[in-house]
Chain A
Amino acid sequence: MASPSLLDRGQRAGLRLITKAGALPFLQNEDVRRRVEWLLQRGAASGFKAQAAAGRAFAKRPGGGAPARTAPRPARRLFDLTPTEDQAMLQAAARELADEVIRPAGKQADSERSVPVEVRAAAIEMGLGLIGVPAELDGIAEEHPAVATCLVLEELARGDLSVAVALMASGSVATALARYGMADQQATYLPHLTSSEPMDAALAVQEPQPLFDPYALHTVAERRNGELVVTGVKSLVPGAFSAALFVIGAMVDDEPRLLIVPASTPGITIEDDPAMGLRAARTGRMVLAEVRVPDDQLLGDTDDYRDVVRRARLAWAACAVGAGQAVLDQVIPYVKERHAFGEPIGHRQAVAFTVADIAIELDALRLTVWKAAARLDSGQDASQVIAEARRLTATHGAKIGSDGVQLLGGHGFVKEWDNERWFRDLRAAGVLEGALIV
């Protein structure tokens, strides 16, 4: 192994998590335990060898026949807020990762604009990025993954939103390849993402212009001699510098489509594109100047593009739920401990009602996210509920971030506390398109 100490640290973190999770009651279930053990073995198996990100070449591999897909979950039509055992297992694993590894790393990851290697290693070890890839493609999904992904994103973002984005960005590309890819595309690219040392990848939809509309992209791919020639700018791409593979949104024949573009393709330059938040994800700007890709690199059709935009909005909403929960978890003890005028500030209605409103809007957003995700997994139309979740995220997600600072007053504004970071990260969730999907 190239860097044993590093990988060891990652494995130790992963093992620690699994050991903890092993004590949880639902792991007494034989089936669930077997799958967890299988997950562990995956990490231990000597897998596909990674290459350096920028120079990575993708040898074309035939997939043979039909692409593999996750299966829809049959609707039971009973109102229920209880996750399945599998979902609860993933949720608990993500929660452990968030509590033990992500939350403590949040502040430093924000200031250094990078995710500590051991945090990334632990996430890879747990296979959370493969949550949308079916088992036959070496992922961990058996059924459609929207609910499970939302639960995981929520937990990770409760640890830290921008670290969650950094950790799940590559997995979102894996999910997209699994959902829309032809067998050849899956065979060519997915092994690079499912290996024990996976590459980084990014889903680039967002563009810099104000009033951005993902259905009227400025990035255009022109057809020339069986090739697509792409020109445009993608902004705030998570992990743009380390990504070896991009899936981008571009207008093809006047319709928005997804296009697979290896980072090594000539004509691509990556510029730094730092923002108010999402610092740990080290956002970059991807400039495409006459970038030529074969037209078999189109991923899915226009309906699939629409599906990606929806699933991305839902993923961001799930992240807002997690970060909002972090705010709530912190302000509850704070307003009881902080004194003013001779009593805890939480004894004042103006303060207590603000906390109550955070909880109300947060719970409502979480339920809306779950409803949309469950609709996706059972194959129903989720467009309206997703639009609603996005609206609630933009309005109340940002408000929760703001109230989280307000309740601490000046202390909320300084970097000694996490509140100012939550404020910055929560603003992203209802604004950005693409990057993550469920």
Chain B
Amino acid sequence: MKHLISVLVENKFGTLNRVAAMFSARGFNLESISIGETEDPEISRMTIVTRGEDRIISQVLKQLNRLVDTIKVTDLTHQPHVERELLLLSLKLSKSTQHEIFELANVFKGKVVDIKQKSITIEFVGSPDKINTAIDLFKPFGIRELARSGAVAIHRGES
């Protein structure tokens, strides 16, 4: 099954490579990986989406922990968390489709970030599932290009 893993790592050159190389060397599936600085500039947070049976996932977590540059490894999958992904979607635009595109973008709370005579770029934020649905529904209009950030995730606060 799909697992969402959050990893705090040293913000040093080569760390992303160490993690990605470990996945490929051990044949683990790596669906997406995203990385960015945290409130502490010496530490980055990586969000990794991977798939595998429990035995594999347990190895993934242990192998991540074993890397010297990883500080904390958390499997968020079964914990309360918020997961978001950013999608930039560039579509073909024409008089006949324009109305429908705007309407559909509204449904997904999309934000137009660029518009030209024959193209439009819309920004969407949501769970990866929602992003997948959006892509499916916009496909008939003609996708020119798209870029996804990969998932980022964080624990929900205590109540």
Chain A complexes with chain B? no
Residues of B near any A CB (own CB < 8 A): none
Residues of A near any B CB (own CB < 8 A): none
